[in-house]
């Protein structure tokens, strides 16, 4: 089958892994790259053997079916709308948009033109999270009733040379930054969220940059940096979540789920690999039978979307899933400021699980038979 053509807009830090991984999925092929900064596009063009063009030129190319939007969060909607307007399918890095209202604009524009919108994170398609999903779906912990999601670090100013955007402006704060991974992983496992309560705090009003040319400079903190809450899922399960840039050390695991017949420890949802532990009589590591659990497979959701376009089925890392995750984030933050429980305005289906027994680069069993 002829691969679908991919054009990348945004040639920054994260673009490398996507461009590298285009080569391992037979259903997609990198065709051209673009950036506001021509030198950034040129560098990737040389590295990956494709032409560097302007974003406008990229959108006019007939050999590009899907545009991969890897620009900074505040450009996601503007660039996304241009992509859809040009009649191309869109797959974007997280967050889908700065707000649920903006995210809806993207999905409505795509629906009006019969185009697809897909979004990171796609780590829930990795071997470890698909293993957890299979264990859950076969009833190995019984009916899931509760869980915890914990992402607590001391703050990105300790390693990032320009950490301003983590503390002020669109997409700032630990929940906006890391929440998409945890919430998407939980929606994959438990289904949509129906209601949330939240509380938030700010550890410090200013942060000091620790590395790079601006080391020693202090920057303002304009958002809560410790956000905690409870998500009630439509299934009835309740999961505590905490995301923080205010914690120097802790010993919680990233994700735990508890059911009527057991419990499960699920690896970091920012990664594709890691061991799932299941507790029936005692904690036991689980065998991974799904592909893409031994490395960084960013772009798996894009490859799945390409396969879904060709085979005319729903794609898994969908715009609807990303919009719902954004709604959970926005609702938790709103609940933290109003002090009330907030009902979610959006919902979505659980993405279909991936089959076991496929190899790296393969999405479904049909490809194996070819
Ligand atoms: N860096 C990471 O580790 C990481 C991890 C996961 C997700 N992400 C996400 O990936 C996205 C990109 O992050 P990054 O770290 O690569 O950022 P970056 O700043 O390194 O790169 C972004 C690139 O987009 C370009 N750009 C900005 N606006 C543009 C526009 N309107 N048109 C064309 N090009 C434009 C910039 O010139 C820059 O080269 C973000 O949404 C981020 O949340 C990053």
What string of DSSP letters covers 4-18? Answer: EEEEEE--STTHHHH
Residues in a beta bridge with 193: 233
Which residue's C-alpha comes closest to atom 18 of ligand 1? 12
Residue 369: pLDDT over 60: no
234 alpha carbon – ligand 1 mean position (Å): 34
74 alpha carbon – ligand 1 mean position (Å): 10
Which ligand 1 atom sits nearest the alpha carbon of residue 14? 16
Q: Helical H runs in the chain?
A: 15-22, 38-48, 55-60, 76-85, 100-113, 127-137, 174-190, 300-311, 319-338, 365-369
Specify the pLDDT at position 368. 45
Residues in a beta bridge with 278: 264, 284
**Residue 68 in contact with residue 6, Cβ under 8 Å?**
yes
Residue 351 CB less than 6 A away from ligand 1: no
Q: What is the pLDDT of residues 283-334, one digit of tens each?
A: 999 999 999 999 999 999 999 999 999 999 999 999 999 999 999 999 999 9
Best of 13, 83, 102, 175 to mutate for ligand 1, by most ligand atoms within 8 A of CB?
13
CA distances from 336 to 227, 330, 332, 346, 360 (A): 8, 10, 6, 19, 42
Residue 135: pLDDT over 70: yes
Specify the pLDDT at position 19. 98
**Residue 250 in contact with residue 150, Cβ under 8 Å?**
yes
Q: What is the pLDDT of residues 231-289, one digit of tens each?
A: 999 999 999 999 999 999 999 999 999 999 999 999 999 999 999 999 988 999 999 99
Residue 35 CB less than 6 A away from ligand 1: yes
Specify the pLDDT at position 365. 62
Q: Looking at per-residue confidence, does 150 or 280 come out higher?
A: 150
3-state secondary structure of 228: strand
Instruction: Compute the distance between CA of residue 7 and CA of residue 186 in angstroms, rounded to an integer.
Output: 30
Per DSSP, 159 falls in state: T
160 alpha carbon – ligand 1 mean position (Å): 14
Specify the pLDDT at position 370. 40
Instruction: Compute the distance between CA of residue 67 and CA of residue 193 in angstroms, rounded to an integer.
Output: 30
Which ligand 1 atom sits nearest the alpha carbon of residue 11? 39
Residue 14 CB less than 6 A away from ligand 1: yes
Terminus-to-terminus CA distance in the chain, angstroms? 10
Specify the pLDDT at position 357. 87
- Angle ∠(35,37,42) on CA atoms, nearest 5: 75
80 alpha carbon – ligand 1 mean position (Å): 13
Instruction: Compute the distance between CA of residue 92 and CA of residue 262 in angstroms, rounded to an integer.
Output: 36
Residue 80 CB less than 6 A away from ligand 1: no
**Residue 34 in contact with residue 58, Cβ under 8 Å?**
yes
Residue 36 CB less than 6 A away from ligand 1: yes
Q: Which residue is it, tokens 């279909």?
A: 352
Residue 79 CB less than 6 A away from ligand 1: yes
What are the residue ranges spanned by the domains of the chain?
4-119, 125-285
Percent residues over pLDDT 90 in the chain: 93
CATH 3.40.50.1370 fits 4-119, yes or no: no
Structural fold of domain 125-285: Dihydrodipicolinate Reductase; domain 2 (3.30.360)
Of 330, 102, 73, 307, whose CA–CA distance to 196 is shortest? 330
Residue 61: pLDDT over 70: yes
**pLDDT, mean over the chain:** 96
364 alpha carbon – ligand 1 mean position (Å): 30
Which ligand 1 atom sits nearest the alpha carbon of residue 120? 7
Average pLDDT over residues 183-191: 98
Per DSSP, 360 falls in state: T
**Cβ atoms within 10 Å, residue 42:** 15
Specify the pLDDT at position 72. 87
CA atoms in the 13 A half-sphere facing the CB of 161: 3
Residues in a beta bridge with 4: 28
3-state secondary structure of 113: helix
Residue 112: pLDDT over 80: yes
Any residues with CB less than 8 A from the CB of 72 and at least 6 apart, and which?
Answer: 10, 12, 165
Which ligand 1 atom sits nearest the alpha carbon of residue 40? 39
């Amino acid at each position: 089958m002829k691969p679908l053509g991919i054009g990348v807009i945004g040639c920054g830090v994260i673009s490398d892994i996507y461009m590298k991984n285009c080569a391992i999925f037979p259903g997609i092929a990198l065709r051209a790259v673009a950036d506001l900064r021509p030198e950034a596009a040129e560098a990737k063009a040389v590295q990956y053997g494709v032409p560097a063009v302007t974003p406008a030129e990229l959108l006019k190319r007939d050999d590009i079916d899907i545009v991969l939007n890897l620009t900074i969060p505040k450009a996601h909607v503007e660039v996304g709308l241009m992509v859809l307007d040009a009649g191309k399918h869109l797959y974007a890095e997280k967050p889908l948009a700065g707000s649920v209202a903006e995210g809806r604009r993207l999905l409505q524009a795509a629906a009006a033109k019969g185009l697809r919108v897909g979004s990171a994170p796609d780590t829930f398609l990795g071997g470890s999270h698909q293993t957890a999903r299979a264990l859950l779906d076969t009833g190995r912990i019984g009916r899931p009733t509760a869980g915890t999601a914990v992402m607590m670090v001391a703050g990105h100013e300790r390693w990032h040379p320009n950490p301003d955007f983590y503390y002020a402006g669109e997409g700032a704060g630990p929940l906006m930054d890391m929440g998409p991974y945890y919430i998407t992983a939980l929606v994959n496992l438990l289904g949509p969220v129906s209601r949330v309560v939240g509380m938030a705090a700010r550890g410090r009003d200013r942060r000091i940059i620790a590395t790079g040319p601006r080391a020693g400079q202090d920057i303002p903190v304009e958002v809560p940096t410790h956000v905690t809450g409870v998500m009630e899922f439509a299934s009835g399960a309740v999961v505590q979540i905490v995301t923080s840039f205010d914690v120097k050390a802790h010993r919680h695991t990233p994700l735990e789920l508890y059911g009527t017949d057991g419990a499960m420890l699920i690896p970091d949802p920012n990664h594709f690999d890691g061991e799932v532990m299941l507790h029936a009589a005692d904690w036991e590591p689980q065998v991974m039978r799904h592909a893409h659990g031994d490395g960084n497979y960013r772009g798996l959701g894009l490859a799945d979307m390409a396969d879904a376009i060709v085979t005319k089925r729903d794609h898994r890392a969908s715009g609807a899933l990303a919009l719902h995750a954004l709604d959970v984030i926005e609702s938790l933050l709103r609940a933290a400021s109003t002090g009330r429980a907030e009902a979610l305005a959006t919902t979505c289906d659980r993405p279909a699980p991936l089959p076991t027994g496929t190899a790296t680069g393969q999405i479904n069993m049909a490809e194996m038979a070819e």
